[in-house]
Amino acid sequence: MTKLEIEEMVKPMLGNYFRYGKNLVKVESYRSTDKVITIHTDKVNLPVANENFEKEIGKFIPVEMNVTMPSPQVSGALLESSVIGQNAKALGDLIMENIDMVKKDPAYIPQANAINDQLKSLIELGKTQVEMIKTQLMAQKLTL
């Protein structure tokens, strides 16, 4: 295939989602030369020799994405339901209080360290909850 023929096949792919192997990818752009076209997706850049293009393009399976993004209010409500979202102000106050206590009394450092360890655990739990929320939102997008 010629460079022009290949570009004409890639242009309609821009901005669309495809199943490529085990991945769901969005074709974002491409760059072509006389010998190679590189298809840039949101996950990976795929260089394809022009002589292999027809074979490789067949691996891009179109995916219908009628994606409705959740409203910011829904996303915000979900995040507020996480441990961090529910306790953000109290956690911030506790951190600032610990900083003040350590400044006043270095003997407070062991207790501050213990509190810090517990805060780290809460933060890790919050991160896990946020990842779970992201996964749920992505699953909702794929089923719409």
Same domain, residue pair 36 and 94: no
Looking at the predicted structure, is the pLDDT value of residue 74 above 60? no
The range of the structural domain enclosing residue 37 comes to: 3-62
Same domain, residue pair 56 and 77: no
Report yes or no on 139 lying in a domain.
Answer: yes
Average pLDDT of 81-97?
Answer: 78
What integer pLDDT is reported at residue 138 of this predicted model? Answer: 77
Nearest to 62 by CA among 107, 13, 100, 21: 13
pLDDT in tens, 93-119: 888 888 898 899 989 899 988 988 888
The number of beta carbons lying within 10 Å of the beta carbon of residue 6 is 19
Looking at the predicted structure, is the pLDDT value of residue 59 above 80? yes
Domain count, the chain: 2
Query: pTM for the complete prediction?
Result: 0.45
Same domain, residue pair 58 and 21: yes
Find where tokens 């979202």 sit.
85
Q: How far apart are CA 23 and CA 35, in angstroms?
A: 26
